[in-house]
Chains A and B, each alone.
Chain A
Amino acid sequence: MQGTLVNKSILYVGLAVTCSTPNLGTSMDSTNSIIGNAQNLTFQSTRALKVNAYSRDKLLFNKSKLESFSKLKNNWNGEGSVPIDGSVIAFVKEMLPDFDLQPEIFPTGRGGLQIEQYLSDDSFYEIEITVNEISAYIVNDEYEFEGTLQKEDLMKTVRRFYESSVVA
C-alpha cells in the first residue's frame, strides 16, 4: 500500500478490535508493515456486520452491470474516453463473490471501474481500479485514507473496513 495516509490509524481500527496479538504499537511506522502484520493475525471481529448482508440478487445485478460496461466504446464519456479495460472487468468480476456486502460499481472515464460502499456519510470506501493502479479513498468515522493499494491487498482492506464498521 502506498500513498498519503491521512490518519495512520485507519487500518489499525480493524486490528485493534479484533486481534489478540499484542505488539502492534511498534509496527505503525508505515502502512506496509501494518499490512504485513495483518496477514499473520486471526480476525475475530466483535463489530462486524450485524446481518448477513450477502445478496445473490445484488451480485447478479453487479455482474450484469459489468457486462454492460464491457460494451462501452471509445468516446463513451466524451471525446478521448476509452473503453473499460477487459482485464479490469475480469478482475472485479472474479472478486465480487468475496464481498460480504455487494458494492456499487461505476465505470470511470479513465478506462477503469470504481467500486464503492457508503454505510453512512462518515463511513465509506471508494476504490478505483485501472490497469495501472488501484486508488482508494476510505473514511471510517475519524479515520481517513487516500492512496494506492496493491491488488492482493484490496479485499483485505475492504474486509477490514467492514470489520471496523458498525452497520445499523
Chain B
Amino acid sequence: MSLVLSPELSEDEKLYRGVLEQFWDYQNDRPSSALFKDSNGVSVDRCNGRRPEDCVKDLNSRRSFPRVASISVRDVTHVGAISIYAPVANNPYHCEIYDDSEKNKIGAKKAKLLRDLIEKVYVPD
C-alpha cells in the first residue's frame, strides 16, 4: 500500500537535499549555492514527522550522498521561493523547490540565500 501524505507542507517542516561531492565548498566548509541550481525543480525530501536521522537514511537508501542538508519550508518561503509536494513512484516524500509559482528555475540571489539558510548538514554513516 502506498503512503499517502498531506499535499500541504507545514512551515516548520524540514526539507532534505542530498549534497554531492561536487557541490561541497571546502574553502568555506559548506555547500555552494550551485546546489540549488537545477534545470527542473530542486529535488528535496520532506520530513513529514520522521526523525531527522530517518530522513537522511531514507534519502541515502535511494542514492548515496556524502552529505545531506536540511532547510525549513519557512526559510524557503522567506527568500521568496516555493516548495511543492511532488511525490514520485519510488519516493512518497519527494518535493521540489522553484523560484516562484510559475515553476521557474531558482535565480542566483535566491540560490545563495537558500544556501545561507541551510540549517544543518548531516554526514550519513
Contact = CB atoms under 8 A, between A and B. Distances in A.
B123 interface: no
Nearest to B63: A78
Question: Which of B34, B38, B109 has the most chain A CB atoms closer than 10 A to its own CB?
Answer: B34
Interface stretch (A37-45, A47-55, A104-112, A159-167): A104-112
B121 to A, nearest CB: 16
B28 A118 contact: yes
A92 interface: no
A67 to B, nearest CB: 13
A126 B107 CA distance: 11
Interface in B48-104: 63
A24 B39 CA distance: 39
Contacts of B20: 76-77
Contact of A110 (B37, B43, B109, B112): B37
User: Main secondary structure on chain A at its contact with chain B?
Assistant: strand
User: Main secondary structure on chain B at its contact with chain A?
Assistant: mixed
Contact of A136 (B25, B63, B105, B108): B108
A3 to B, nearest CB: 9
A84 to B, nearest CB: 10
A106 B39 contact: no
A69 interface: yes
A82 to B, nearest CB: 7
Interface string A109-136: 1111010101000000010100000011
Contact of A135 (B32, B39, B108): B108
A157 to B, nearest CB: 13
Leading 3 A-B pairs by shortest Cβ distance: A109-B38, A137-B108, A106-B34
Interface of A: 69, 72, 76-82, 104, 106-112, 114, 116, 118, 126, 128, 135-137, 146
